[in-house]
Amino acid sequence: MTAVFPYPTIFGDVELRVMSVSVDNRELPYAMISATDRAVALHQAGRGAWERARLRLSVTFPEAEISSGPWSDVVFLAVLSEKATNARTTAVLSRSADGTMQGTIELDSVAHLRRATLGVSVVATVEGVAGRLVGSATQDWYVDLKASTPARQREIDIVEVDFKEGEHEWLRPYKESAWIVETTGDVPTVYLNTGAIEGLMVALRGSGGSPAERMLRDLAATQIAQDAWTAMFHTAVSDLDTDEDGTPMLPKGWRESVLRSMLPDVLPGRQPTDALYEIVERRTKGYGWAEIQTGVQFAAGRRSRATRNLTNAVRSVQNLEGAGGAR
Amino acid sequence: MNRSDGSELPPILGMLTDASVAKHIGRAVQTGQERPPQVALRRAAETLGAAQRWRTEPVRVLVDEAMRRFEGRRTAADGWFAPRLHATLRMTRAEAADGRLWNFIAMVVAPDYVVWRHRGSDTDGAPGAATAARFCGPHYTQAFSRLWWAAELFRDGSDYRPTETACQVQDVLQTTMRLDVIDHRPTAQAILRVLERRLAAGVSRPGDQANALSAAVNAAGSTLVYDVLAPDRPADTDALQDWIDDAEDAAAAPWDRLPEGPQDGEVSRASIDALIPIFEQLLAEAPIRDRSARKGGVPDPRLPEGVSLTKPSDHL
């Protein structure tokens, strides 16, 4: 969002960098900090229980602009927050010898659940008013508490379970179904029913095999992927947060990845935010919602490689028939 | 534990995913005509550990007492229930942010309370229902998590009195609690102080004042950084942990006086005092929507007009 401020703000870039992280006074391996993704992976194998992480930060800023500008009492404030836990921690940064602003912010594991956002606000007295926001870091960082590598995109979980007799009670009603896609959680999950179709699991798991086996595997995988993409899309466009003027905003996590990837195919030629606005309009007002479905199906099909796999399947059927006819 | 309706409550609390409860929240459950299917839900639930704080009975006792004490004036129950629920279900914010526990309490432990507290008025012979979000919903809406979080976000260290003030004006729970600005403790306390003054002055419709003030504080928060104007001390996590550990042998929360919260640090008086004049001025300049003009048989749908529900973090 580009906000308009009724007073002069900083024009130049304020850049935040996480230099190092210590967890319970032990340094986190540098591989757990990704500058390109602006992400820190705190939850790693072998160190599940920890209490406190300290993040050492460094901020670069347009020094000449700030020193000559109309701002006084300039404060650089690092803000660590997480919406799910309503947590908010701040730390005032101080000037270091190399001209950057540096400081340490603490993250208590009991106050955070999934992912904390780390930003920087530049605060100053402007035109006689203290405490005004005059700038912020161009991009925030994210601290993941439930990821083993510092990546912000999550994959899909695939769970093989017997719907009828397995541990998941809620799957019982779907016992006739070969698979179910569940998208309410943090990670979308495909439940494959080991009890529904005899031999399907073997076919899905195999590699190589006869052309007919390959065909079956590809088609089943395509079908499952198509269902998963469609379900993920619908979940991602529902329940969106909006900003002040009612514009829907891209969600976070996998929902964002799904929308960014599929929206260009659902409504071609539009920016993701514009496409999202259009979709929400149609969904809430009811017009043109049916037409969207074609786009969703197309986008899901592309991602599940439906056309390619179907083409291969048709060819193998033709080959089988050809072989049969020659006999 | 035997219930009057013959069903038995599980001794230990559990967790239920949104997916596993969603299909059981139907009209009959929302109106209280049927109890959610206990066997299916309990089988789908993940049980919490054996710690005292996860025992079902103390929560159920509070629920029964709340319904007994506040029969006929259910909104008044919040101010009594919130601090006692918080002091009974002692946990960290990370634990409380997991909606599965709240789903379990609403669906298994006390679905009757959800209906009792949040049932809408009957229309044309059809019985009033509690919305699905009261059973399974965001922290500021779900019947139990809204109380726990009200206590957590508005308490001043171990002092739950500000929580009582917050619950006195329903709009604080419904509107103010959604805003990110109150995650800064001095801001939350200063809002309550300003409201307290209005309540003490006997202002009519304090809810309108609460909405106007919250909207103004939230809007001004996009250019004013309250953290700098009113610095907060970091919470004492060790003290919080001690308090949680004390749950093993702590007595049940008292009914007639306030329980004591964790001694994880009071909000700095100076910081609250620094914000009060700013908020007073914001409220004085804020347009206060007079909702008394809109009278009908229908209760206010509490449309957040003039109040931005957007949290600053939405833009991140």
What stretch of H or E contains A90? strand A87-92
Residue A5 forms part of a structural domain: no
Chain B interface, best mutation among A77, A79, A86, by max B CB count within 10 A = A86
pLDDT digits (tens, 9 = 90+) for B14-33: 999 988 898 899 889 999 99
Q: What's the confidence (pLDDT) of residue B2?
A: 46
Q: If DSSP codes are grouped into helix, strand and coil, which group holds residue B188?
A: helix
In SS3 terms, A299-321 reads as: HHHHHCCHHHHHHHHHHHHHHHH
CA distance readout (Å), B49 to A94, B46, B63? 44, 10, 22
**Domain match, A106 and A185 both:** no
Q: What's the confidence (pLDDT) of residue B90?
A: 95
In A295-314, the residues whose Cβ lies within 8 Å of chain B are none
Output phi, psi for B108, to 5 deg.
-110, -45
- State the nearest Cα–Cα gap between B270 and chain A, in angstroms: 16
**Domain match, A179 and A252 both:** yes
Residue A172 forms part of a structural domain: yes
Query: Residue A225 belongs to what domain range?
Result: 157-320
Q: Quote the pTM value.
A: 0.71
CB nearest A113 (choices: B94, B237, B316): B94
CATH value at residue A135 = 2.60.40.10
**Domain match, A129 and A166 both:** no
CA distance readout (Å), B266 to B118, B189, B236? 33, 11, 10
Residue A136 forms part of a structural domain: yes
**Domain match, A174 and A312 both:** yes
Could you tell me if A74 and A124 are in contact, meaning their C-beta atoms sit under 8 angstroms apart? Answer: yes
**Domain match, A54 and A80 both:** yes
- Which residues in chain B touch residue A91, judged by CB atoms under 8 angstroms apart? none
Domain's final residue, options A78, A110, A144: A144
Contact A130 B229 (CB under 8 A): yes
Query: What letter represents residue B121's amino acid?
Result: S
- Domain chopping of chain B, boundaries: 1-154, 158-232+267-311
**Domain match, A115 and A169 both:** no
**Domain match, A113 and A194 both:** no
Q: Nearest residue of A to residue B92 by CA position?
A: A110
**Domain match, A205 and A56 both:** no
> How many alpha carbons fall within 13 Å on the CB side of residue B205?
13
**How many whole angstroms separate alpha carbon A31 and alpha carbon A20?**
10
Residues in chain A with pLDDT values less than 70: 1-3, 44-48, 147-155, 206-208, 243-245, 306-307, 309-327
Name residues whose C-beta falls within 8 Å of residue A11's C-beta, 6 or more positions apart in sequence: A62, A65
CA distance readout (Å), B232 to A233, B138, B263, B300? 41, 26, 15, 36
Residues in chain B with pLDDT values less than 50: 1-2, 4-6, 294-309, 312, 314-316
Name residues whose C-beta falls within 8 Å of residue A196's C-beta, 6 or more positions apart in sequence: A163, A175, A176, A177, A178
Domain's final residue, options A119, A144, A169: A144
Q: What's the confidence (pLDDT) of residue B8?
A: 79
Name residues whose C-beta falls within 8 Å of residue B256's C-beta, 6 or more positions apart in sequence: none
- Which residues in chain A touch residue B234, judged by CB atoms under 8 angstroms apart? 89, 106
Contact A249 B180 (CB under 8 A): no
**Domain match, A175 and A311 both:** yes
Number of A/B CB contacts below 8 angstroms equals 111
Name residues whose C-beta falls within 8 Å of residue B72's C-beta, 6 or more positions apart in sequence: none
Q: What's the confidence (pLDDT) of residue B89?
A: 96
Contact B237 A108 (CB under 8 A): yes
**Domain match, A226 and A102 both:** no
**How many whole angstroms separate alpha carbon A274 and alpha carbon A268?**
11
Residue A164 forms part of a structural domain: yes
Residues of B with CB under 8 A from a CB of A: 17-20, 22-23, 40, 43-44, 92-94, 96-98, 139, 149, 152-153, 180, 183-184, 222-229, 232, 234-235, 237, 240-241, 308, 310-311, 313-316
Could you tell me if A261 and A191 are in contact, meaning their C-beta atoms sit under 8 angstroms apart? Answer: no
Contact B183 A88 (CB under 8 A): yes
Domain's final residue, options A144, A175, A199: A144
**Domain match, A193 and A240 both:** yes
Q: Nearest residue of A to residue B311 by CA position?
A: A243
Q: Which residue has the tokens 């709009």?
A: B171
Residue A326 forms part of a structural domain: no
Q: How many domains, in total, are found in chain A?
A: 2
- Which residues in chain A touch residue B39, judged by CB atoms under 8 angstroms apart? none
Q: What's the confidence (pLDDT) of residue B131?
A: 92
Q: What's the confidence (pLDDT) of residue A283?
A: 80
**Domain match, A107 and A133 both:** yes
